[in-house]
């Protein structure tokens, strides 16, 4: 779940970005509720800076609005040198995963989101899929990833990448896994015109 963060609290940051993106696209709370499958009352709470969204909630909002997750969870950096302390970043939790988004990087070739990822044992994190390519680098522990019809087990120093449009899952094999997750989006992964519908890849 989201906890307090330096600068603007994560709940307030998500609420601010959510309202801004919704206003940019000219859609109502009711329409966003329909697109995302999230109750209108819950959306209203999130926009007010309250609530504890899960990974699934944030990805549903990302897909419904046709924007990357980082557009909802980050502020635009203004310094030439950016230092991010992982301990100061809010945790976005799912069934088995804790994510801290360290950085959003925009380049002419696309958009990248860098996450500090921890996979907890005794649970499996499932995803229905989302746009982009996932890049995983395991730092400690052993991580089992199922994607694209294959299951691979990664140890420290191992790297795996896959297109994330289809169902995929993660499981810590022996104890907590610490890893780096890089989400890579192609330049056309998200529409640039406000109000354009987004179809998950």
Indicate the pairing of strand 177-185 with strand 133-140: antiparallel
Which has the higher per-residue pLDDT, 8 or 20?
Answer: 20
- Do 63 and 22 reside in the same domain of the chain? yes
Which residues fall within 8 angstroms of residue 174, CB to CB, at 6 or more apart? 121, 141, 142
Indicate whether 93 and 66 sit together in one domain. Answer: no
DSSP-assigned beta bridge partners for residue 184: 112, 133
> Would you say 138 and 128 are in contact if contact means Cβ atoms under 8 Å apart?
no
Which residues, including other chains, have CB under 8 Å from residue 9's CB and lie 6 or more apart? 49, 90
Domain range for residue 127?
A: 86-185
Write the DSSP string, 133-200: EEEEEEEES-EEEEETTEEEEE-TT-EEEEETTS-EEEEESSS-EEEEEEEEE-TTSS-SSTT-----
Q: Confirm if 116 and 99 have CB atoms less than 8 A apart.
A: yes
Q: Could you tell me if residue 2 is inside a domain?
A: no
Residue 33 lies in a domain: yes
Which tens digits make up the pLDDT trace of 144-160?
999 999 999 999 999 99
Is the same domain home to 129 and 95? Answer: yes
Secondary structure of residue 111 in the 3-state scheme:
strand
Same domain, 66 and 122: no
d(CA 34, CA 91): 27
Domain count, the chain: 2
User: What is the DSSP code (8-state) at residue 49?
Assistant: T
In the predicted model, is pLDDT for residue 6 greater than 50?
Answer: no
The CATH number for 37's domain is 1.10.260.40
pLDDT score of 76: 57
Flag whether 26 is in a domain. yes
180 in the same domain as 110? yes
Alpha carbons 36 and 197: distance in angstroms, whole number: 12
pLDDT (tens digit per residue) in 174-190: 999 999 999 999 877 76
| 173 and 113 assigned to the same domain | yes
Beta-bridged to residue 53, according to DSSP, are none
| pTM summary value | 0.65
pLDDT, tens digit, 9 for 90 and up, residues 59-83: 889 889 988 888 887 765 555 677 7
Q: Which of 54, 51, 42 is nearest to 11 (CA)?
A: 51
* Residue 200 · residue 130 · CB < 8 Å: yes
51: which residues sit within 8 A by CB, 6+ positions away? Answer: 11, 42, 45
pLDDT at residue 7 tops 50 = no
């Amino acid at each position: 779940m989201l906890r307090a963060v330096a600068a603007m609290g994560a709940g307030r940051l998500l609420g601010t970005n959510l309202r801004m993106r919704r206003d940019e696209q000219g859609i109502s709370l009711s329409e966003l509720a329909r697109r995302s499958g999230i109750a209108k009352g819950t959306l209203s709470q999130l926009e007010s800076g309250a609530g504890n969204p899960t990974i699934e909630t944030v990805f549903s909002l990302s897909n419904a609005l046709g924007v990357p997750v980082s557009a909802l969870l980050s502020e635009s950096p203004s310094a030439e040198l950016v230092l991010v302390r992982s301990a100061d970043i809010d945790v976005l939790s799912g069934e088995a995963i804790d994510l801290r988004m360290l950085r959003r990087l925009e380049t002419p070739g696309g958009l990248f989101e860098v996450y500090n990822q921890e996979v907890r044992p005794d649970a499996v994190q499932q995803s229905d899929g989302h746009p982009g390519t996932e890049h995983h680098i395991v730092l400690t522990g052993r991580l089992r990833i199922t994607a694209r019809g294959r299951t691979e087990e990664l140890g420290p120093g191992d790297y795996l990448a896959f297109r994330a449009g289809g169902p995929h899952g993660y499981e810590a094999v022996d104890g907590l896994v610490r890893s780096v997750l890089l989400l890579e989006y192609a330049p056309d992964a998200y529409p640039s015109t406000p109000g354009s519908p987004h179809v998950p890849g």
